[in-house]
Amino acid sequence: MPYFIDAILPIPVEKAFTYSITEAEAKFLQAGMRVAVPFGKSKVYAALVKNIHTTPPTLYEAKEIEHILDEKPIVTQKQFELWSWMASYYMCTEGEVMRASLPSAFLLESETIIRLQPEVVLQDEDLQDDEFLIYEALQHQSVIKIQEVMDILGKRKVLPTIKKLLDKGAISVQEEVYEQYKPKLVTFVQLHSHYKEEKAFVALLDSLSRAPKQRELLLAFFSLKAKTNKPITTLALQKAANATATQVKTLVAKGIFETYEKRKDRVEFEGETSGTKTLNEHQVEALAQVKESFETQNVCLLHGVTASGKTEIYVSIIEELLHTGKQILYLLPEIALTTQLISRLQNYFGEKVAVFHSKYSVHERVEVWNNVLQNASKAQIIIGARSAMLLPFYELELIVVDEEHESSFKQYDPAPRYHARDAAVVLGHLFKAKVILGSATPSVETVYNARHGKYGYVYLGHRHGNILMPEINLVDIKEKQRKREMTGHFSDTLLRAITDALQLGEQVILFQNRRGFSPVLECKTCGHAPQCPNCDVSLTYHKYRNQLRCHYCGHHIAMQLKCMACGSPDLTTKGFGTEQIEAELKELYPEYSIARMDSDTTRGKYGFEKIITAFEQEEIDILVGTQMLTKGLDFRNVTLVGILNADSMLNFPDFRAHERSYQLIAQVSGRAGRTEKQGKVLVQTYNPYHQILQQVSANKFDAMYEEQLQERHDFKYPPFYRLVRITLRHRDYQKIEESSIWVAKALRQALGRDAVLGPETPPVARIRNQYRRNVLIKINRRQNLKQIKGLIARVQTSFKAIPQYRSVRLIIDVDCY
Ligand code: ADP
Ligand code: ZN
Ligand code: ZN
Please list the residues that pair with 541 across neighbouring strands.
518, 548
Measured at the CA of 716, the angle between CA 713 and CA 719, to 5 degrees, comes to 65
Report CA(538)–ligand 3 centroid distance (Å).
Answer: 9
Give the tens place of pLDDT for each residue, 575-605.
Answer: 778 888 999 999 999 999 999 887 777 666 5
- For the four alpha carbons of 183, 186, 187 and 189, in that order, the dihedral sign comes to negative
Least confident of 194-198, 241-245, 485-489, 682-686: 194-198
Report d(CA 579, CA 510) in Å as an integer.
12
Radius of gyration of the chain (CA): 31
Report d(CA 661, CA 679) in Å as an integer.
20
307 C-beta closer than 6 A to ligand 1: yes
For residue 684, pLDDT over 70 is answered with yes
> For the chain, first and last CA: distance in Å?
51
Residues with Cβ within 8 Å of residue 222, at least 6 apart in sequence: none
What is the average pLDDT score of the chain?
Answer: 87
Q: What is the mean pLDDT of residues 192-209?
A: 81
Nearest to 75 by CA among 108, 93, 102, 104: 102
Of the listed ligands, the closest to the CA of 402 is 1
115 Ramachandran zone, left/alpha/beta (phi>0; psi -120 to 50): beta
Structure confidence at residue 178 (pLDDT): 34
**Residue 329 DSSP class:** E
Q: In this structure, which CATH number among 3.40.50.10480, 3.60.21.10, 3.40.50.720, 3.40.1440.60 belongs to the domain 3-106? A: 3.40.1440.60
Q: What is the mean pLDDT of residues 95-117?
A: 80
Structure confidence at residue 459 (pLDDT): 96
Residue 343, amino acid? S
Report d(CA 284, CA 135) in Å as an integer.
67
Report d(CA 237, CA 213) in Å as an integer.
13
Structure confidence at residue 358 (pLDDT): 65
Quick count: other Cβ atoms within 10 Å of Cβ 611? 21
Q: Which residues does the annotation place in the binding site for Zn(2+)? A: 523, 526, 532, 535, 550, 553, 563, 566
Measured at the CA of 623, the angle between CA 542 and CA 269, to 5 degrees, comes to 110
CA within 13 Å, CB half, 420: 30
How far apart, in Å, are the Cα atoms of 571 and each of 550, 575, 579, 581?
A: 19, 14, 19, 20
Asked, colleague to colleague, whether 3-106 and 471-517+576-710 share their fold, the answer is: no
- For the four alpha carbons of 140, 141, 142 and 144, in that order, the dihedral sign comes to negative
For residue 544, pLDDT over 70 is answered with yes
- Superfamily designation of domain 471-517+576-710: P-loop containing nucleotide triphosphate hydrolases (3.40.50.300)
Residue 12 CA from chain centroid, whole number: 22
Contact between 775 and 736 under an 8 Å Cβ cutoff? The reply is no
Q: Which CATH architecture has domain 721-814?
A: 2-Layer Sandwich (3.30)
The secondary structure of 260-298 as a DSSP string is EEEEE-SS---S---PPPPPPHHHHHHHHHHHHHHHH-S
Please list the residues that pair with 458 across neighbouring strands.
302
Q: What is the mean pLDDT of residues 293-310?
A: 94
Report CA(309)–ligand 1 centroid distance (Å).
Answer: 4
No. of helices (H) and no. of strands (E), the chain: 26, 37
Residues with Cβ within 8 Å of residue 202, at least 6 apart in sequence: none
697 C-beta closer than 6 A to ligand 1: no
Measured at the CA of 159, the angle between CA 155 and CA 165, to 5 degrees, comes to 110
**Residue 7 DSSP class:** E
Structure confidence at residue 738 (pLDDT): 94
Give the tens place of pLDDT for each residue, 397-425.
Answer: 999 999 999 999 999 889 999 999 999 99
Hey, whose CA ends up nearest to atom 14 of ligand 1? Answer: 634
Structure confidence at residue 176 (pLDDT): 39
Q: Which CATH architecture has domain 281-466?
A: 3-Layer(aba) Sandwich (3.40)
Report d(CA 331, CA 341) in Å as an integer.
11
- Residue from 308, 312, 677 to probe ligand 1 pocket by mutation (most atoms less than 8 Å from CB): 312
Structure confidence at residue 626 (pLDDT): 87
Output 185 or 796, whichever has higher pLDDT: 796
Return the domain boundaries, the chain. 3-106, 119-167, 185-263, 281-466, 471-517+576-710, 721-814
Contact between 183 and 367 under an 8 Å Cβ cutoff? The reply is yes
Q: pLDDT category, 183, cuts 50, 70, 90?
A: very low
pTM of the model: 0.80
Report d(CA 241, CA 218) in Å as an integer.
9
For residue 179, pLDDT over 70 is answered with no
Structure confidence at residue 330 (pLDDT): 96
Quick count: other Cβ atoms within 10 Å of Cβ 391? 25
Nearest to 470 by CA among 439, 444, 509: 509
Report d(CA 681, CA 382) in Å as an integer.
35
Report CA(540)–ligand 3 centroid distance (Å).
Answer: 10
For residue 428, pLDDT over 90 is answered with yes
For residue 489, pLDDT over 70 is answered with yes
Nearest to 427 by CA among 396, 404, 458: 396
Hey, whose CA ends up nearest to atom 17 of ligand 1? Answer: 309
Hey, whose CA ends up nearest to atom 6 of ligand 1? Answer: 309
Q: What is the mean pLDDT of residues 322-345?
A: 84
For residue 21, pLDDT over 70 is answered with yes
For residue 180, pLDDT over 50 is answered with no
Structure confidence at residue 177 (pLDDT): 35
For residue 182, pLDDT over 50 is answered with no
Please list the residues that pair with 303 across neighbouring strands.
439, 459
Of the listed ligands, the closest to the CA of 523 is 2
Give the tens place of pLDDT for each residue, 34-54.
Answer: 998 888 776 778 899 999 999
Q: Give the three-class secondary structure for 259.
A: strand
Q: What is the mean pLDDT of residues 110-138?
A: 80
Structure confidence at residue 739 (pLDDT): 95
